[in-house]
Amino acid sequence: MGDSLITVIAIFLAAILMFVFPLMSLAERTDDISELAIQTATDEFVNNIRTTGKITLDMYEQYLQTIGTTGNTFEPEIVVYQLDENPGAKVTQAEMTKIGENVYYRKYTSQVQDELTKTGRMRLKEGDMVSVSVKNTNQTIAQILRNFFYQITGNNSAELEASQTAIITVNGSN
Amino acid sequence: MKLQYIAVIFIIIIMPISIVMASSIHSRITTISLQNDYNSKLTEATYDSIKAFQINTVNNHYSSISDSKIRDIEAAASSFFNALGTSMGLSSEDLQNHVPALVFNLYDGYYIYTKYDNSYPKSNGKPVLDSKSAQTNYGLKPYIYYSCRYKVGSNIYVVNYTLDNAITVFYTSGGASHTKSGYLINPGSVTSSVTTGDIRNWSVTYNGVKISPEVLTEHLLFADGTEGNYEYLVYNGQKIYRNSYESYFWYQNYGKTNIQKANSIYNYLRARDYDGHLHSTSAVEYYANAKTFSAEIETLLGGITQANAIDAQENKIEDFSVNTGENKIFDFNNSTNDPLLDSSIFNQNRISVIRKSIETNLKAAIANYSSYSSNGYTYQIPVLGDADWEKISNNISVTSFLQGIPIGYKFYNNYCVISNDNNEENISKDKIYIIATNNSKQREYHVPGCEYLLNSANDYTIEPEPAAAAYPNINFAAAYSNISFMRQTVRISEGNYKYFYPQSRGKSPSQTITSCYYCIVNAANVYPIDQIISGKVARIDRNITSTEIGRLSDIRKSYFHALARERYDLYLTNMNEFN
């Protein structure tokens, strides 16, 4: 009886050791690589925007395609901060010693997407900022396996995350 | 064998594999993160470099003079090394071993900042370049023009291109050398031209728009704290302001330097000072000269196609990036060849020539750099993308290369191109802003393609001067280049600076000028500039009504005046010397 119980436990442990742990380890490495791929794609996308001064539909679709090749589904969030120097210009006239305060207006993902689908491009100017962050919306194999043992709850449960922010360096051409 | 043993053996096999794999992946992740980090540092340092160039040229009234330009570029290069060195924790000397080249693209040519051999040891009495010499310098190599040689029969023409529609042609004819320099337009687009006699009557008609002498105004702040609005014109690259009738001055050292009556410029100014205002004739002269020049070029080079291009050894150049085939480059009667438009054959050739010239010289510079280096790394020019070439051939730009830094399992090798359009080197088509007054009597500036300004349903008046309505016969300028809207600094003493905006008229809300929220702050609701130039405005998503472009003719009038004037007023060494 005692031996049989130990054998059952041993088989169970062996199964975990032989299949689940290697699988988990492999799945986590795959996620690392996927995360690296989306981080690189996000960096490239943002760098491209900052040096060309515009977001085009073509650039955006290519970005979505690149992150999509990891086999996961994603929800990119784009925030564009548009610099308004007008308050500064007015202040400088009234008070010469003050350099002025600049204001940023924000445009969010849906507004950016609207503009891209409408005109095919979004022009930005020098001094604007763009911030792109992306998270996976599906469950990766590593997440499924991990949830089998322990559950992670809350908003920050995404496995694959990447973000990049940059200041635009040039006025976008037409 | 018992099951437990199998499990243990399995673990013994799997564990090291798993550990090695994890470590290998980790090191690759570190490498790529480092690469991304360096990319971003390179971009920032390159941006700092071009920003330094911009600030130096905008605040330097002599920036167009060659010596002064070299100083500005050297300052920009040291900003690059300082910025990159600070972020990477390396000294400038260390970085010079990893930066094979910096390319500064200017209006009509470019400088390459790299290692070069400056020693010429003698062999049999003749100087020989010793490529293996250790006596290398790191600095600016001689200026290279964007030039291309064309051979027609036995005649050779060298054409120097620029970032816009200006060219210079060198050729020999009848045993004598000739040089012609000017702006290219479609000569047929200028239909009437009067540029002699009383300046009041000077005018040209360009694309149906009447161009006449105009009054330009700027706000100035002086070191003594006084300020005011002054009419001005540009003569020989320098702005000259009108104090009152027959009294003129230069704005130097934040003060007035009066122009004496004995000065040769005085008569030029006096002839343009009539009806109580100082008139600039730059726009009229630009079109009149461009028409004459373009017609001459058509006669001289009209038959030239890409097939006529040859290199220094007189071999045909066949690997241009854009193949324009049998199309004649300098035949402007062809409707598809208006040099102002991006799609023209001339423009495609211009871009191909610039690209070819930079590629050839950069390859040589980086290969030489490799032979001067002793660290064993082979420096090579990376492949620059089409988007990067577009930036390089249309704007002032800095291209930086960073190579040979070990990052984990490989060496870092990348480049960065940052262009800039806020400088006094080049007036690109996008750089002109139109001034308008909105219904609250506030002055705003717009890009010519602003959707809201074009729409006559919106309450705007394209009228820069509050007093303009009282002088219906005076043509007040309503558009200027973007430099006129940038903040200028007056240095009173160390730590005491004052600021002003040249296109602001004063301090009250009706006098200050702000950027339009629809087209500049938001930078989105804009029609492409080529549509404004050609007068055919179209939207992608639907047809537009006539009200939506109700102000098109007024905008085109202001735009054509401003583009011509600002380009004509640039100090261009070639043109001023040769013509």
How do the domains of chain A map onto residue ranges? 2-167
pLDDT for residue B489: 81
**Per-residue model confidence as pLDDT tens digits over B78-127:** 999 999 999 999 888 888 889 999 999 998 899 999 988 765 556 666 65
Q: Are B400 and B518 found together in one domain?
A: no
- HEC profile of chain A: CHHHHHHHHHHHHHHHHHHHHHHHHHHHHHHHHHHHHHHHHHHHHHHHHHHHCEEEHHHHHHHHHHHHCCCCCEEEEEEEEEEECHHHHHHHHHCCCCCCCCEEEEECHHHHHHHHHHHCEEECCCCCEEEEEEEECCCCHHHHHHHHHCCCCCCCCCCCEEEEEEECCCCCCC
Q: Give residues 481 to 500 of B whose Cβ lies within 8 Å of A.
A: 487, 498-500
User: What is d(CA A67, CA A111) in angstroms, rounded to the nearest whole number?
Assistant: 21
Q: What is the mean pLDDT of residues A44-67?
A: 93
User: What is d(CA B370, CA B201) in angstroms, rounded to the nearest whole number?
Assistant: 62
Calculate how close chain A gets to B18, using CA atoms only, in Å: 7
State which H helix or E strand residue B136 sits in: strand B136-140
Strand-pair partners of A78: A132
**Closest Cβ–Cβ partner in B7, B14, B504 for A22:** B14
User: What is d(CA B249, CA B255) in angstroms, rounded to the nearest whole number?
Assistant: 9
Q: Is B7 on the interface with A (CB under 8 A)?
A: yes
pLDDT for residue B342: 86
Q: Which of B298, B299, B338 is CA-nearest to residue B189?
A: B338
Token reading at B115: 């290692």
Contact assignment for B22 to A17 by CB distance below 8 Å: no
Token reading at B18: 């798993």
Name every chain A residue with its beta carbon within 8 A of the beta carbon of B58: none
Contact assignment for A22 to B514 by CB distance below 8 Å: no
DSSP H stretches of helix in B208-310: 264-272, 282-301
| A141 or B375, greater pLDDT | A141
Amino acid at A30: T
Contact assignment for B520 to A125 by CB distance below 8 Å: yes
**Closest Cβ–Cβ partner in B25, B418, B524 for A169:** B418
Q: Which of B76, B57, B47, B44 is CA-nearest to residue B481?
A: B57
The torsion region of residue A74 among left (phi > 0), alpha (psi -120 to 50) and beta comes to beta
Contact assignment for A32 to B25 by CB distance below 8 Å: yes
Q: Are B308 and B360 found together in one domain?
A: yes
Chain A residue with the nearest C-alpha to that of B447: A174
Burial track A50-67 (b if 16+ CB lie within 10 A, e otherwise): bbbbbbbbebbeebeebb
Task: Tally the domains of chain B.
Answer: 3
Domain that holds residue B321: 143-208+280-378
Q: Is residue B446 part of a domain?
A: yes
Token reading at B461: 């008046």
Label residue A94 by pLDDT band (50, 70, 90): very low
Tell me the CA end-to-end span of chain A in Å, nearest whole number.
82
**Closest Cβ–Cβ partner in B6, B418, B487 for A51:** B418
Q: Is residue B252 part of a domain?
A: no
Q: Are B180 and B89 found together in one domain?
A: no
Helix axes B386-394, B345-372, angle to 10 degrees: 100
Token reading at B495: 């730590």
CB pairs below 8 Å between A and B: how many?
A: 131
3-state class of B402 per DSSP?
strand
State which H helix or E strand residue A24 sits in: helix A21-52
Amino acid at B36: N
Contact assignment for B32 to A40 by CB distance below 8 Å: yes
State which H helix or E strand residue B228 sits in: strand B227-235
Contact assignment for A92 to B499 by CB distance below 8 Å: yes
Q: Are B163 and B78 found together in one domain?
A: no
Q: Is B419 on the interface with A (CB under 8 A)?
A: yes
User: What is d(CA B426, CA B429) in angstroms, rounded to the nearest whole number?
Assistant: 10
Q: Which of B161, B146, B158, B163 is CA-nearest to residue B111?
A: B146
User: What is d(CA B433, CA B426) in angstroms, rounded to the nearest whole number?
Assistant: 15
ipTM of the complex in this document: 0.82
Token reading at A15: 């199964």
Q: Is residue B240 part of a domain?
A: no
- Asked whether the beta carbons of B402 and B415 are under 8 A apart, the reply is yes
Q: Are B372 and B399 found together in one domain?
A: no
pLDDT for residue B506: 81
- State residue B68 phi and psi, 5-degree precision: -70, -35
Q: What is the mean pLDDT of residues A22-39?
A: 87
- Asked whether the beta carbons of A48 and A130 are under 8 A apart, the reply is no
Distance of CA B218 to the CA centre of its chain: 23
Strand-pair partners of B172: B177
**Alpha-carbon separation of residue B236 from A118, B268, B332, B480 (angstroms):** 46, 11, 29, 18
CA A83, A86, A89: angle at the middle one, nearest 5? 125
Q: Are B348 and B479 found together in one domain?
A: no
Contact assignment for B528 to A174 by CB distance below 8 Å: yes
Q: Are B438 and B390 found together in one domain?
A: no
Spell out the per-residue pLDDT of chain B, length 579, in tens. Answer: 676 787 788 778 878 888 888 888 888 888 988 998 999 999 999 999 999 988 887 766 665 566 778 888 999 999 999 999 999 998 888 888 899 999 999 988 999 999 887 655 566 666 566 555 556 778 888 899 999 999 988 889 999 999 999 999 999 887 888 999 999 998 888 888 888 888 889 999 998 899 999 999 999 999 888 889 999 999 888 899 999 888 999 998 888 999 888 888 898 999 999 988 999 999 999 999 999 999 999 999 988 998 999 988 888 888 888 888 888 999 887 777 888 888 899 999 999 999 999 999 999 999 888 888 877 888 888 899 888 998 898 889 999 999 999 998 889 999 999 998 887 788 888 889 999 988 888 889 999 999 889 988 888 888 766 666 667 777 888 899 988 888 888 887 777 788 888 988 887 778 888 899 888 888 777 888 989 988 888 887 778 888 888 889 899 999 999 999 999 988 765 555 555
Residue A16: pLDDT over 80: no
Q: Is B40 on the interface with A (CB under 8 A)?
A: yes
Contact assignment for B25 to A29 by CB distance below 8 Å: yes
Strand-pair partners of B444: B436, B514
Contact assignment for B36 to A39 by CB distance below 8 Å: yes
- pTM across the whole model: 0.86
- Asked whether the beta carbons of B477 and B432 are under 8 A apart, the reply is no
Q: Are B89 and B178 found together in one domain?
A: no
3-state class of A12 per DSSP?
helix
**Closest Cβ–Cβ partner in B21, B499, B521 for A96:** B499
**Closest Cβ–Cβ partner in A48, A89, A118 for B541:** A118
**Closest Cβ–Cβ partner in A14, A48, A169 for B3:** A14
Other beta carbons within 10 Å of B289:
19
Q: Are B528 and B572 found together in one domain?
A: yes
Chain B residue with the nearest C-alpha to that of A10: B4
Tell me the CA end-to-end span of chain B in Å, nearest whole number.
99
Label residue A91 by pLDDT band (50, 70, 90): low
Q: At a CB cut-off of 8 Å and minimum separation 6, what does B112 contact?
A: B101, B102, B103, B104, B140, B141, B144, B361, B362, B365
Strand-pair partners of B117: B136
User: What is d(CA B534, CA B549) in angstroms, rounded to the nearest whole number?
Assistant: 13
Residue A155: pLDDT over 70: no
State which H helix or E strand residue B452 sits in: helix B451-454
- Asked whether the beta carbons of A171 and A52 are under 8 A apart, the reply is no
Q: Which of B502, B440, B506, B522 is CA-nearest to residue A103?
A: B522
- Asked whether the beta carbons of B181 and B578 are under 8 A apart, the reply is yes
Q: Are B439 and B529 found together in one domain?
A: yes
User: What is d(CA B325, CA B346) in angstroms, rounded to the nearest whole number?
Assistant: 12
Contact assignment for B21 to A29 by CB distance below 8 Å: yes
Q: Which of A87, A103, A84, A89 is CA-nearest to residue B499?
A: A89
Q: What is the mean pLDDT of residues A33-45?
A: 92
User: What is d(CA B205, CA B57) in angstroms, rounded to the nearest whole number?
Assistant: 34
Contact assignment for A122 to B524 by CB distance below 8 Å: yes
Strand-pair partners of B416: B400
pLDDT for residue B355: 93
Q: Are B436 and B449 found together in one domain?
A: yes
Other beta carbons within 10 Å of B198:
9
Q: Are B439 and B557 found together in one domain?
A: yes
